[in-house]
Structure 1
Amino acid sequence: MSASLQAHRGAVLYFTDDPRDGDGSGQVVHHEDGLLVVEHGRVQAVGPADALLATLPADITLIDHGSDLLMPGLIDTHIHFPQTEVIGSGGRQLLDWLDDYVFAVERRFGDPAYAREVAEVFLDELLRNGTTTALVFCTVHKTSVDAFFAAAARRGLRMIAGKVLMDRNCPEYLRDTADDGARETRELIEAWHGTERLSVAITPRFAPTSTPEQLAAAGRLAAEYPSTYIHSHLAENPSEIAWVRELFPERRSYLDVYDHYGLLRERAVYAHAIHLDQTDRRRMADCGACAAHSPTSNLYLGSGLFDFDASDAAGLRFGVATDVGGGTSFSMLRTLGEAYKVAQMKGQRLTPLRAFYLATLGNARILQLQDRIGTFAPGSEADFIAVDLQATPLLARRLRACRTLSEKLLVLMTLGDERAVRQTYIGGNEAVIHDQNES
């Protein structure tokens, strides 16, 4: 963490609440010429540059970002670090895609050296795209989680990750047992949870690949360690749902499987949640579980279209996620653009203001980290990005024609990608991002 006092000048944007379908009055803070003051890795103050500059010491380190947009670091609520190696594979639907591509690659993560190598590539890609926190799937190998956390700790990142639990309906070489999976997850919790800026997620892959015994063991861990996260998949694909129905005929629904085994609570995040009824959405809302909408993955694998309106009507909190490697980009900007299109296909509306809220404070709330990240509130951790609004000729040209903040954000999430992220800061320090082409 930086020990010096710094002031970053540029346009400033952050959110204080969900703007939903409104104009952001009361929920959006935007200064065309703003100042972000950082000390000891935390936000000390934020506001209009002219007003704040007069209150600061004359010898303060002032970093002028020009017309760049300063905003909290982006947050990804569902992503698979091993699937960095399969992004853009195939074109199959979910179950075939897992069998044909994913499982064979995940096998390699039993090798600690390989896991360490990919962890570095993965974190470089996150930071290059302005993502400063993520909820991450590793593999069934405990070594994959150790490698990931060690790499994240060296960079000072706030990350959440877990070992996959998978004791049936998968290749033998990726299978654990109910007892071994619980033991290794417990060891990871004791070693890493709450260390540095790291947290552990209890991570059954999805209901079909865990026996009732394993799901029950996961539920016991969740009760024993309430500050941990629960991370899995839910109602992504019709064939998957039919399979769950065959495996758990006594349960009312896919969600009810997780509920029965004690895996619905605050800090439980379920990816996709596309094919749910309102009973299930309300149940998730009542117990505090959340959904991670993954639009590029849902479109790429043909899984379906997330229902924003039904989720809002049920009070179900949801965030946005890349879901690499079923998802096709590490960029949360591109992900927001695809989420906008999903809403359009449903005849619904995702405003640009709400989209950027979801990628920052909204996703922080999903992870119950809103007092630390996703915001510029004084005392929050100074993970932020500088967005170059002139990153490409087309982006610059289009933004010059925009009259409102909402119009600008829509163009940014339509045309923006990693090229628009000029700098990523972690705890007030500019992140070091390696050029993989040089390795």
Structure 2
Amino acid sequence: MTRLTRTYRILPLLLFALYLPFTVAAAPAVKNASLTFSPPRPFVGQPFTVTIEVSVTPGVELEQVELNGLPDSSRATFTNLSRAGRRQQRGSSEALDILRYTLNGRGIVDFAGPFSCTIRAMAVERVSGGFFSHTRSFPVALRTSTANLEIRPLPAHGRPTNFSGAVGRFSLTATATPLTVAPGDIITLTCTLNGNGWLADATLSPTHPETDFKTYPPQILERQESPPLISLSQAIIPLSTNVTAITPPVFNYFDPHTATYRNTTAPPIPIAFSTVATTETAIRRITATPANPPPVATAQPDIVVSDAVAKLRQMLPLTLAFLAAVTLCAAIYRFHRLIAWLCAIAILAVGIFISHRLSQTTTTKLLNISTTTTCYLTPSQRSLPLFELYPDDTATPLEHIPGWFRVRVAGNEAWLQEAAISTP
């Protein structure tokens, strides 16, 4: 019994010894935190990096990290809080792990001051002792050290009148295809702007080339904020052989590293014109009405369809009026015969009147040429000439802008000066 009694007395002491490592108060798992801004004096719009380093005991992890106390969203933006690394620090008294976090910042307005922030997180620590180990989680909150941040305004000196608002460093590349063309051919100009920094609301606007080009509005192919990128394409048509190169656009921006406004562009793109031998004159006439028409009708399909549609449109009001008159007459004939006949006659009269007006409109859709004139590829006398028209020729109008008509003659489309058209 004595030996059993001793066993019962020793067992609680053994269990207590095993449990003791879990109950002894440990040193704080999270020690301190530091805050730095890089660069410490950025310009408005210039990206900067916020770095926070937290000292913890070895093996401690931080989860659900939150930061409070940085400048509010009316003065700066902060995005992409992420873990950047972990390193060990060995001191004379104790060993520590340094947890490094980074945050992307950008100033919206100019301001300055010392700042510190509060870190709130859930600390996860692995505790081991004897034959047992476990993890314990507990919330932590600590204040970082103080760091100075100054957001400087963009200088007014040297600012271009058409400043894009972009801050950083950028480069522009440009290509064009094809490079060997004839007047009137379409060239596709592709421009790409990339770099590092902040684009803001900047756009890449192609330069307006000399009048020897016809240009169309550019089309944005791609745009992204980080990393900054703008890609666009534009259709350009050379109108004469006087041009030798295409000038890419110029993009201006502010370089925070040199504190100056700069421009970037691409070298001019040379183009060549094909030399094809031909015996035709530069301006040729397309006869609107052949002197000896072939026995088989050669009317263009689109003209035939247009005439058919015009005739159907003339008949449509009369057809609808007839159907309406029959329906109304059938509805009220049994009650008021006279009124039914009068209404039917009135409806038919309206249909006949509308059809007559439409037929008059259709017959006037030909333009009479009053003087010898040249038709061009575009509404400009510097454009590529296509053919000539002579007095008493006719043309079908397709589009009208001040001073010019786009017409179709014998299946060919061109731009005709309004002054060459005879008015009735």
TM bin (shorter chain): under 0.3
Greater strand share, 1 or 2?
2
Calculate the TM-score normalised by the size of structure 1: 0.19
Calculate the TM-score normalised by the size of structure 2: 0.19
Greater Rg over alpha carbons, structure = 2
- Point out which structure has higher relative CO (alpha carbons under 8 A, 6+ apart): 1
